[in-house]
Amino acid sequence: MGSTQRMGTQAENIPSEITSERVDDMPLLLAQLGEMRVPALMHQCFPTHGNWRGLSLGPLVTVWLVFIVSPSHHRLSHLRPGAATRLQSLRAGLGVALGETDCTDDRLAQALDALSDDEGWRACEDALNQHVLRLDDLPDELVRLDMTTAKAYGPITADGLLQCGPSKEHRPDLPQVKIRVSTLAPLGLPLTAPIVRGEKADDPLDIPEIERVRATWQRRGLLFVGDSKMAALETRVHVAAGGDSSRCPLPQTPVSAAQWAEWLGPVLRGAWQPVAIRRRHEATGRGEKIGAGFAYTVIMEAEHAGQRIS
């Protein structure tokens, strides 16, 4: 509980006035977002109109994020009444003058307009990732790529994100958007999360996302891990040409029967390397064998930007 109070003198005969606020995990969230420089980066990457008055965009978005994470309210109309009961705590946590009218739904709508800038998001993602990873010295060798969809009941427009396409939720009658996510393993730290139109195919989205991760890292030698859609030859060649490596299941569909016979021929003749599949036992901490497989190397070559890539 947080509180403010005003004590009067006996001569004035003014009673004590105490205001109590329920803070829950709000101070922790405000401190964490401040340490991540979210308010400053939002203000820096998303410039607002010159007529913007009152609380600036960075602190306003920070307050909204806190209420999305803590009370789990994302609707615009919920922020003003929620913030009104915690003004003193929010002012102390943000270090700015905050009024109830700074959190109205029309101000949040203006904030959403400012946040709709794709270039601003790319700059904000790069700056945030570089700051967080430098701050915590996190391992940065393995990046996982994955795709999900989110259906909606909104209208379909020619230039809108909501479009009908192959649905993972088995609702092809509803429009959807596709969300391409890259995460840092094993922490599961999100790096990028671009949203694309719902009818887009998954395969062509890997290369732009790999380039986004590279722009954030400014380094090479990463390992990209994805599903079978990442096995497209163009994607694997692009990864290798940039000095990185990739791991993904190889689907049978893009490979001819003759090619499979050529690859599996030495395996069937015994020219393969056995591989034991192990896991660490929770009680003893020792590795235990849970399966077996084989490894066989196939060297493939392709041309990329005038170079032969193996």
Q: Check pLDDT > 70 for residue 238.
A: yes
Q: Check pLDDT > 70 for residue 7.
A: no
Residue-range domain boundaries for the chain: 18-116, 140-247, 255-310
Question: pLDDT at position 14, please?
Answer: 62
Q: What is the pLDDT averaged over residues 36-51?
A: 87
Q: Check pLDDT > 50 for residue 296.
A: yes
Percent of the chain with pLDDT over 70: 83
In terms of pLDDT, which residue wins out, 44 or 250? 44
Question: pLDDT at position 15, please?
Answer: 58
Q: What is the pLDDT averaged over residues 136-147?
A: 73
Calpha distance 81→74 (Å, rounded): 13
In terms of pLDDT, which residue wins out, 264 or 201? 201
Highest mean pLDDT out of 14-23, 172-181, 242-251: 172-181
At 106, the pLDDT band (50, 70, 90 cuts) reads confident
Highest mean pLDDT out of 21-35, 241-255, 273-287: 21-35
Q: What is the pLDDT averaged over residues 84-111?
A: 87
Among the listed residues 28, 25, 26, 23, the one whose alpha carbon sits nearest the alpha carbon of residue 2: 23
158-210 confidence digits (pLDDT tens): 888 889 988 888 888 899 998 888 888 877 888 888 888 888 888 788 888 89
Q: Check pLDDT > 60 for residue 10.
A: no
Mean pLDDT of the chain: 81
Classify domain 140-247 at the CATH topology level.
Answer: Nucleotidyltransferase; domain 5 (3.30.420)
Q: Check pLDDT > 60 for residue 8.
A: no
Strands 273-280 and 287-295 come out as antiparallel
This prediction's pTM: 0.63
Q: Check pLDDT > 50 for residue 135.
A: no
